[in-house]
Amino acid sequence: MNYNFKFKYYRRPFRLRFKTNYGIWTIREGILVRLEDREGNVGYGEIAPLHSFGSESMEKAYAYCNDLKGQFNDDLFTLMDVKHPACCFAFESACELLRNKCELQIEKNVQVAALLPPGRKALNILDCYSSQGFKTYKWKIGLDKIEIEQSVFKKLVRTSSEDVKFRLDANGSLSLQQAKDWLGFLENYNIEFLEQPLHPTATDDIFAIAEEYSTPIALDESVASIDSLKKTVKKGWSGFLIIKPSIMGSISKFRAWIKECNNALIFSSVFETAIGFQAGLQLAAEYGEPGYDAGYGVNSFFLNDGLSLHGDSPTLSLNRCSIKDFEEIWKQIGKN
């Protein structure tokens, strides 16, 4: 099918600078896409690249959109998936919305985990999140000395109720010995999992320490694309998989593969506007592991700019947004 295609570039500041192993984020950049078929049906998608995780860069995504010269057709998906996974997700999201497939789970709610700022700043915001009803927290590690971070984590646990759960994310920043030190330390705590302790290339070591310690390990950067998901599971990984829909590539390929997968899937945001957020939350509602909160408690990291519509509570509704809301967001973004 052929579509008329338009796109708009956006930049939105974080409320506070956000530090990860890959540097400090102050601005989230992305591209909104709009497809319209010959009957006038419209669908919106969002390109939210994360180059550090292996997706195309923002520059390459923009160049791809510009090269389309206002026209798109379904045949382009085959060539897009590998080199432009974030673009592929955005265009397939727009097509699904255009064809009303997103209506399937429209009434469902999704429980989400809150993302804590790294270091001691987490202690300052924990009470605020707790008062909102959050019961699962994700906290970044590998940004300071181990003894300092472990001391902060002890305080986080002490100041939390017994029913609160934590998941720690190293973003592949730990050495093998550091990973073992953390896993040994966490044997004394009932946490959900340690996320991506080692670099994605350290596959054998990750498999080995997963067998050696009782604390579960979740893979993230190691499985950022459809192909890497397939290869990792085929190699024998049976643990948690973190799925970042906005950068994984083809939704249709993911839906086909998921029928063969028995792993527990935890879906996670990459700081999208409501358009990409809705598309990812939809997949979390369909395929997320029961009993584990999705990683979509991130909207409080942005200013109130009108681009986040789902709210920042621990329970998010898929019927919070409509195509009319997306149209308003589209109008709000300045012209290229």
Q: Write the CA distances from 290 to 21, 136, 263, integer angstroms.
A: 29, 14, 12
The catalytically annotated residue of 6, 140, 231, 234 is 140
Q: At what angle do helices 203-212 and 176-186 cross, to 10 degrees?
A: 20
Sequence length of the chain is 336
The residues with which 193 forms a beta bridge, in sequence order, are: 167
Q: Distance (Å, rounded) from C-alpha 307 to C-alpha 326? A: 9
Distant-in-sequence, close-in-space partners of 306: CB < 8 Å, separation ≥ 6: 328, 329, 332
Q: Distance (Å, rounded) from C-alpha 103 to C-alpha 4? A: 23
Q: Distance (Å, rounded) from C-alpha 170 to C-alpha 314? A: 23
Q: Is 140 a catalytic residue?
A: yes
Give buried/exposed letters for 68-98 (b at 16+ CB in 10 A, else e): beeebeeebbeebbeebbbbbbbbbbbbbbb
Q: Is 244 a catalytic residue?
A: yes
Q: Distance (Å, rounded) from C-alpha 180 to C-alpha 173? A: 13
Q: Would you give the DSSP letter of residue 303? A: -
Query: Which regions of 117-215 does DSSP assign to beta strands (E)?
Result: 136-140, 165-169, 193-195
Q: Strand, coil or helix: what is 152? A: helix
The catalytically annotated residue of 6, 8, 138, 244 is 244
The H-or-E segment that residue 13 falls in is: strand 2-20
Catalytic residues: 140, 244
